[in-house]
Amino acid sequence: MYQPHRTSRSEFVPIRRSRYHVRIWGEPQPGRVPLVMVHGWMDVSASYQFVVDAFACDRLVIAPDWRGYGLTESPPADNYWFPDYLADLDFLLDHYGGGQPVDLVGHSMGGNIAMLYTGARPQRVRRLVNLEGFGMPATRPQQAPKRYAKWMDELKAFHRGELDLKSYDSAEGVAARLMKTNRRLPRDKAEWLARHWAREGADGRWHILGDPAHKITNAQLFRVEEALELYRLISCPALWVEAGDDSLAQWWQDRFTLAEFHQRLASVPNLRKARVDDAGHMFHHDQPAVLARLIEDFLDG
């Protein structure tokens, strides 16, 4: 099994009636602001272990489990609202950052959160790194009636127990699932991740540390115009990193393309772009050393 080079510690912080689990590597360093790393959909904070291990220098890294994920304890919910993630992050930065800005890295859903948050609170972020946080396809107002109907139907399915996540008979079964999803993930890392991505229950089976309510469609449409207004207000230097594999083509075909997202990125005033080849969407697992170097060069440059 993979052996971490840098050991993390866990803290639990009261945030908006939740008991947030926060994973921390390192200690404060003179002249360096904290680095906050936020994970994506159906992921956990421990997912950044391989990147943290690959950093050339020790630094204070703060990585929360979002509400409904990992070891964070939240009031029971039957669906999740995207603005809550921004508010949770704001409270967390109050706790860990005080009045100083932080460096902020987000992957996938976390990258989308980081972009929107930095537009809403530009004074709180010194440098921003978005790791394939694409947002969603553009929508039209005419889609709203069916979207609300779908949301209500899925809520009923959830309460009937029809949206539960699959469980596994062992940690090795979880690791095999991770390797099936990501063909580049080596077994040693998969077996280590499995024990953070899932937990053995009283029934002897391994259960994913993610609330199945996350599978419910967002009731509100994604409004590109609002996102672009927030992008325009990002005042710090920002780095966009994409993987060699085109995830958008896989997920959305022609409904939302990488070229379309690059057009959206033109709204960010001070943006650099980078690419990590031989990697898919989970490139913090596929190429952690390459990604660590890109992040450190950008933060320290």
| pLDDT tens digits along 192-232 | 999 999 999 999 999 999 999 999 999 999 999 999 999 99
What's the mean pLDDT in 247-268? 96
- The token pair at 221 is 């449409």
Contacts of 160 (CB under 8 A, 6+ apart): none
Residue whose tokens read 């469980």: 167
- CA-CA distances (angstroms) from residue 114 to 54, 143, 250? 22, 27, 23
Number of domains in the chain: 1
Is residue 243 domain-resident?
yes
Cα separation, 102 vs 33, in Å, equals 6
Q: What is the 8-class DSSP label of residue 142?
A: G
Residue 181 in any domain: the answer is: no
For residue 103, list its beta bridge partners. Answer: 35, 127
Judged against a pLDDT cut of 80, whether residue 291 lies above it is answered with yes
In a domain, 183, yes or no: no
- Angle in degrees, CA 29, 30, 35, rounded to 5: 45
121, pLDDT greater than 80: yes
Helices (H) and strands (E) in the chain, counts: 11, 11
Within a domain: 144: no
**For position 301, what pLDDT does the model report?**
85
Could you please report the per-residue DSSP string of 188-246? HHHHHHHHHHEEE-TTS-EEESB-GGGGSPPSSPP-HHHHHHHHHT--S-EEEEEESS-
User: Any idea what DSSP says for residue 141?
Assistant: G
pLDDT attached to residue 36: 98
pLDDT value at position 119? 98
Residue-number span of the structural domain to which 37 is assigned: 8-138+223-300
Average pLDDT over residues 256-281: 98
Question: Residue 30 in 3-state DSSP?
Answer: coil
Residue 21 burial by CB count (10 A; 0-12/13-18/19+): exposed, middle or buried? buried
Residue 180 is assigned to a structural domain of this protein? no
Whether residue 82 lies inside any domain: the answer is yes
Q: Which residue has the tokens 């220098």?
A: 57
**Sign of the CA dihedral with 269 first, then 274, 279, and 284 last:** negative
> Would 245 be classed as within a structural domain?
yes
Task: Identify residue 3 by its one-letter amino acid code.
Answer: Q
Per-residue model confidence (pLDDT) at position 97: 81
Res. 24 pLDDT band, cuts 50 70 90: very high
Distances (CA, A) of 215 to 42, 157, 225, 233: 9, 11, 25, 31
* Encoded tokens for 197: 């991505």
Closest CA to 206 of 179, 161, 175, 180: 175
Give tens-digit pLDDT for 89-116.
Answer: 999 999 998 879 999 999 999 999 999 9
Q: What is the pTM of this model?
A: 0.97
Q: What is the mean pLDDT of residues 131-147?
A: 97
Q: Is residue 102 part of a domain?
A: yes
> 39: domain CATH number?
3.40.50.1820
Q: Write down the mean pLDDT value for the chain.
A: 97
Q: Which two tokens stand for residue 64?
A: 């929360």
Query: Per-residue confidence at 246, pLDDT binned at 50, 70, 90?
Result: very high
- pLDDT on residue 99: 77
Report CA 212 to chain centroid distance, whole Å.
17
pLDDT tens for 28-78 read 988 889 999 999 999 999 999 999 999 999 999 999 999 999 999 999 999
The pLDDT, as a whole number, for residue 29 is 86
